[in-house]
Amino acid sequence: MGAISTSLRSQQISTSITLAISARAAAMRADGQDVISLGAGEPDFPTPEPIADAGVGAIRDGKTRYTAASGTPQLRKAAAKWFERFDLHYAPDEVMATAGAKPALTMALMALVNEGDRVLLPTPYWPSYPEMVKMVGGVPVDVTPSDGLIPTREDLENAAREHDAKGVMINFPNNPSGAVPTGDQIEAMVDGADATGMWIMSDEIYARLVYDDNVHVSPASFEKGRDRTIVVNGGTKSHSMTGWRIGFLAGPKDVIAAAARLQSQAIGNPCSISQEAALEVCNEADDSEFERRKAAFDERRQFLHEAINAIPGLKLDRPQGAFYALVDAREACAARGIDDVALTEQLLVEALVAAVPGTAFAFPGFLRLSYAASMDDLEKAVDRIRGFLSK
Ligand SMILES: Cc1ncc(COP(=O)(O)O)c(C=O)c1O
């Protein structure tokens, strides 16, 4: 008998490019090379102490057993209240806990997408989206915004009609660009989805990381958006909880109930210890520690904005949110006769700086630098990039 073969569906799915780049940078470091990684979207701060203590307390108190698959009633209630921060009003049964934003997105897509359904992905997008859509049998469709980084109502309506799309996935503040739309721009997207009957999957995992005068606005905060939007959020990025694997999904009750049934069969409850820690995030009364972390990201953002624009061949519009800079490297690429993928490879091997090529986000010619790294590392990385490009 021949060897067993993997499913056709699994063969269509690629590995997470950002995780692959981080793993490669880690392997080079283990090999003794002094690589600076600006590849990963992972805060360099530890999990805040009260949250970590809540996790330790949960272990000591024996909160280590199965919970309800969609989260403890206490957590769902606290999370519903926490969503009010974003002007979103949900009942506890319109919110569920998940093992991070990734499972939240996957369960929600599984609850909404039928075989062959087309799902719009405005570019630039997080590389997991097309893979997730394919995983649940859908067909991802790239949509290039007509005017930069934020899709207009017409962009969405035209693409929805052309492709008979059932839904759209948006992510603001955006990874990789840091773009933060105004309330009017979000409302226009809601109107576009409403006019064409699409659902909106709104990944708001960076909602608390907005700078200058920007304000995060959720499509679900609009009357027409409330019943057609599924919101993904959590403390992963704002509270340095990448390893805890905990997040939230919120939306119309029937969609949450469907996602909860799927989660109960595929995953079971998110980690009971992490749920207790997440309760601490939801109930956090004092924002001062969070504001301190945000101010550190802001300082790095401003540094990178100035320093990158001082390097010939690179341009950077001031990022508005999250902790990413999407650097326009088209001139630098053209000068060397290479594309962004080759430039990223050369930066890693020759300058020992790990970045992610814009091609991974369907945005060729650009490089994504994460500024969830120390100022020290950012300064060194900028020096190395400048030195490399001046050769
Ligand atoms: C846009 C976006 N959504 C979701 C995630 C994943 O979040 P989690 O670790 O909670 O699954 C990330 C992490 O990089 C992200 O950038």
Q: Kindly state whether residues 237 and 308 are assigned to the same domain.
A: no
Residue 292 counted as domain residue: yes
Final residue in a domain of this structure, among 228, 259, 283: 283
Final residue in a domain of this structure, among 246, 265, 283: 283
% residues pLDDT > 70 (the chain): 100
Which is more confident, 266 or 21?
A: 266
Q: Are 25 and 34 in contact (CB under 8 A)?
A: no
pLDDT, tens digit, 9 for 90 and up, residues 182-226: 999 999 999 999 999 999 999 999 999 999 999 999 999 999 999
CA of 348 from ligand 1 middle (Å) equals: 23
Final residue in a domain of this structure, among 260, 283, 306: 283
Q: Kindly state whether residues 189 and 292 are assigned to the same domain.
A: no
**Which residues does ligand 1 sit against, CB inside 6 Å?**
41, 100-102, 126, 171, 175, 203, 205, 234, 236, 242, 247
Asked if pLDDT for residue 167 goes beyond 80, the answer is yes
β-sheet bridge partners, residue 321: 210
Atom of ligand 1 nearest to the CA of 102: 11
Q: Kindly state whether residues 168 and 304 are assigned to the same domain.
A: no
How many domains in the chain? 2
* Residue 34, pLDDT score: 95
Asked if pLDDT for residue 145 goes beyond 90, the answer is yes
Q: Kindly state whether residues 343 and 279 are assigned to the same domain.
A: no
* Residue 191, pLDDT score: 98
Residue 245 counted as domain residue: yes
* Residue 261, pLDDT score: 98
Tokens linked to 25: 């940078």
pTM score of the predicted model: 0.97
| CA distance to 129, 320, 356, 360, 361, per residue, from 16 (Å) | 10, 25, 11, 9, 11
* Residue 1, pLDDT score: 73
Confidence of residue 52 (pLDDT cuts 50, 70, 90): very high
Residue 90 counted as domain residue: yes
Q: Kindly state whether residues 279 and 323 are assigned to the same domain.
A: no
pLDDT, tens digit, 9 for 90 and up, residues 312-344: 999 999 999 999 999 999 999 999 999 999 999
Q: Are 49 and 277 in contact (CB under 8 A)?
A: no
Atom of ligand 1 nearest to the CA of 174: 1
Q: Kindly state whether residues 111 and 174 are assigned to the same domain.
A: yes
Pocket test for ligand 1, best of 131, 133, 201, 236 (most atoms within 8 A of CB): 236
Residue nearest to atom 13 of ligand 1 (CA): 41
Residue 44 counted as domain residue: no
Pocket test for ligand 1, best of 22, 98, 126 (most atoms within 8 A of CB): 126
Domain of residue 25, CATH code = 3.90.1150.10
Asked if pLDDT for residue 98 goes beyond 80, the answer is yes
Tokens linked to 46: 């530890």
Domain of residue 77, CATH code = 3.40.640.10
Q: What is the CA radius of gyration of the chain?
A: 21
β-bridge pairing 139-143 and 118-122: parallel
CA of 124 from ligand 1 middle (Å) equals: 15
* Residue 365, pLDDT score: 98
* Residue 88, pLDDT score: 98
Residue 299 counted as domain residue: yes
Asked if pLDDT for residue 19 goes beyond 90, the answer is no
Q: Kindly state whether residues 238 and 105 are assigned to the same domain.
A: yes
Long-range contacts, stretch 79-86, CB < 8 angstroms, 24+ apart: 79/248, 79/250, 79/278, 79/282, 80/250, 81/282, 82/248, 82/281, 82/282, 83/231, 83/233, 83/248, 83/250, 86/204, 86/207, 86/216, 86/218, 86/221, 86/233
Q: What is the mean pLDDT of the chain?
A: 96
Q: What is the 3-state secondary structure (H, E, C) of 303-326?
A: HHHHHHHCCCCCECCCCCECCEEE
% residues pLDDT > 90 (the chain): 94
pLDDT, tens digit, 9 for 90 and up, residues 341-385: 999 999 999 999 999 999 999 999 999 999 999 999 999 999 999
For residue 107, give every residue at least 6 positions away whose Cβ sits within 8 Å of its Cβ, in sequence order, or none.
98, 249, 259, 260, 262, 263, 266, 267
Residue 213 counted as domain residue: yes
* Residue 15, pLDDT score: 83
Question: Whose CA is closest to 128, among 370, 355, 361?
Answer: 361
Q: Kindly state whether residues 222 and 312 are assigned to the same domain.
A: no
Q: Kindly state whether residues 193 and 254 are assigned to the same domain.
A: yes
Kindly state the DSSP code that residue 4 receives in the 8-state scheme.
Answer: P
Tell how far CA 116 is from the center of its chain.
Answer: 25
Residue 89 counted as domain residue: yes
Residue 47 counted as domain residue: no
Q: Kindly state whether residues 308 and 195 are assigned to the same domain.
A: no
Asked if pLDDT for residue 17 goes beyond 90, the answer is no
Q: Kindly state whether residues 83 and 26 are assigned to the same domain.
A: no
* Residue 101, pLDDT score: 98
Pocket test for ligand 1, best of 42, 98, 237, 370 (most atoms within 8 A of CB): 237
Domain of residue 122 covers: 62-283
Q: Kindly state whether residues 255 and 330 are assigned to the same domain.
A: no
Interval 17-44 mean pLDDT: 89
CA of 387 from ligand 1 middle (Å) equals: 32
Tokens linked to 321: 């949110």
CA of 245 from ligand 1 middle (Å) equals: 10
